[in-house]
Amino acid sequence: MIYSKLRIQLLRNHIAAWNSQLSTKSKLQLGRFYSHQESLPHLPVPPLQQTLDKYLKTIRPLVNDAEFKKTQALVKELSGKNGLGEQLQAKLFERCKHKENWLSDWWLDHAYLKSRAPVVVSCSPSVSFPRYNFQGLEGQIEQAAKVIAAILDYKVDIDSETLPIEKLGGKPLCMDQYYKILSSCRIPGIDKDGVKSYARSWKPPQHITVIHKNNFFELSVYNSDGEPLSVQQLQIQLEKIVEMSTESGIPVGILTTLDRNTWGKVYAELTADEHNEKVINSIQRSIFALCLDQLSGKSTKNWRSSFALTCLHGGGSNSNTGNRWFDKTVQMVVDQDGGVGLVYEHSPAEGPPIAALLDHIYKYCQKSSEHCESSVSLPVPKSLVFNVSAKVSKAIDEACVAADSVCESVKLEVADFKDFGKEFVKSKKMSPDSFIQIALQLAYWRLHKQPPATYESASLRQFRLGRTDTIRSCSVSSQAFVEAMDEANVTNSEKAKLLREAVAAHRRYTNEAVSGQGIDRHLLGLRLAAIESGLPEPSFLKQDAYKRAMHFNLSTSQVPSQADLCMAFGPAVPDGYGVCYNPKADKVLIAVSTFVSNCDYNPVKYCEVLFKSLCDMRDLLVGESAKL
């Protein structure tokens, strides 16, 4: 999207029409968001030699001497004067001249829309709230009404484009993703999906999708005067929906768990029916989806872990997986046992906009809602019933089997590390994120005795329409530390020195990555530039060493939030962990996932070793201080 002067003027012309549909509180104040976006710099194309040199450094711990030597030769070949590297670099510079962001379209396509894997577990993360004190249907409806009201309250700032502009190191960040999380949806296709946002359409949606017992409903959440329904009015409407869906419906929603090509074909079959097309259009356009879940009936020792999994995949065809529409960007989940959470489709946004939304929901729900009597007669929520052909019915049966397999394939542990938090690390003049990342390296080494290729998400939001690059946490410095940590012949003073060097190296790489000087997106750009222009791909990108570098045994992300929220997602590879963490002042909330198929990878065991690693690293720093 190009925020040109012409576009701004067109939007100014539409203010009156939009304002007529919004509450007084949410009247548009056009200009702040667009002027802010225009002031952001464009994502740079890093120097070629710089990227190649960094690539060699990042793969050094992951490959043997022979593989490294071969890679060095291929990299040197690419960087030769007037060679392929310079040609591809010139293609990127040319693309940069004509794009707001030379990377964002490519990244959206290749990271998300062209991926044919199911979005469930492999792509879409979940977030779980701390357990609330409510039980049963009545408590579920009351809490769900508060959640709806909270999102509508947050939506006021989205509609008025007055969300506080975030900054990093004093620099403003791109807020574009914040304006794409509501009223948006992924659209299945064959070979490539699409993603649509309806928030800025001529008539912005004024309804949400409610799913109860696999039954879908369209619920208008604004009164005729443009004001949102009160919490009490929302409760009344949700009670109507529950009364209208006493029986379980056909789990059409489970089709959204299929691999994307299969789902694309079934979607075409579904939407060939004009009635179904209207039903799906209502779901896609809705502000968000609310999933009123049934109790699973399964007992569990760790409620938080169990509920995080329920948010992630629904629990299976006999539980709540059919009570979803996984293509929807935001799906709020409320069960009957104190559970509130979310699962979100990743293509429109990264974690921070979702965390900000959930922080707002958490704070809002802590307030006691004022009772508001209304004499306005509320319309009956609209039931969205699909016409299910024999072909679609067969696809649903197959999707149930496939979804159950996916649900059974993953383990997840959510745990609180309570011995210390980010304030202790900061008191030692270290980055908490870098400290945790080195602990992740140490835990992996202690369990598997090999260095892990590690992905950590680096935000590129300093740049217009910026998404992410990769922080490669496994380095020569981190490997030197983890190997020395359990060696009896290395003194604690030497270990502390190596720890500080490893943390500092990670921090440097992080600073470079968020400044647009990472390597992974640049290498992707070189490969795609070659493909689009008919030039050969860089040969080292076809090498086993590169495949090893992209085989992320640790797929990690820091998603901080003010509340005790924790994001969770599946591992990137069969022999790996998916790790997300929320560092707090005096603790760290951590979610770890693994695949059941690999018995050497267990999330509970990894958490145990990780917690010991964090404490051992702390003890090194405490001992260091004691000697001063």
- Measured CA distances, 464 to 43, 176, 385, 628 (Å): 7, 8, 41, 46
Q: Tokens 């067109």 label which residue?
A: 10
d(CA 297, CA 621): 46
Q: Which helix (H) or strand (E) holds 265?
A: helix 260-271
Residue 596, classed as helix, strand or coil, is: coil
Q: Distances from the Cα of 310 to the Cαs of 79, 121, 140, in angstroms? A: 49, 11, 16
What does the alpha-carbon distance between residue 68 and residue 82 come to, in Å, rounded to a whole number? 24
Do 458 and 468 meet the contact criterion of CB atoms below 8 Å apart? yes
In this structure, how many other beta carbons lie within 10 angstroms of the beta carbon of residue 37? 19
407 three-class SS: helix
Q: Are the C-beta atoms of residues 440 and 473 closer than 8 Å to each other?
A: yes
126 and 567 in contact (C-beta within 8 Å)?
Answer: yes
**For the chain, how far is it from start to end, CA to CA, in angstroms?**
56
Task: Assign residue 429 a region (left: φ > 0; alpha: ψ between -120 and 50; beta: otherwise).
Answer: left
User: Which listed residue (212, 346, 360, 522) is catalytic?
Assistant: 346
Q: Which two tokens stand for residue 297?
A: 């009936």
Q: Give, as one character, the DSSP assignment of residue 124.
A: B
Closest by Cα among 386, 361, 420 to 585: 420
Instruction: Give the torsion through C-alpha atoms of 371, 373, 376, 378, to 10 deg.
Output: 50
CA distance 603 to 348: 29
Q: Please, are residues 421 and 588 in contact by the beta-carbon 8 Å criterion?
A: yes
The CA angle 564-568-572, to the nearest 5 degrees, is 155
Pairing of strands 207-212, 330-334: unpaired
Is 346 among the catalytic positions? yes
Structure tokens at 147: 């959640």
Identify the CA nearest to 369 among candidates 599, 145, 123, 619.
Answer: 145
CA separation, residue 278 to residues 181, 270, 275, 281, 289 (Å): 22, 11, 5, 5, 16
Q: Which are the catalytic amino acids?
A: 346
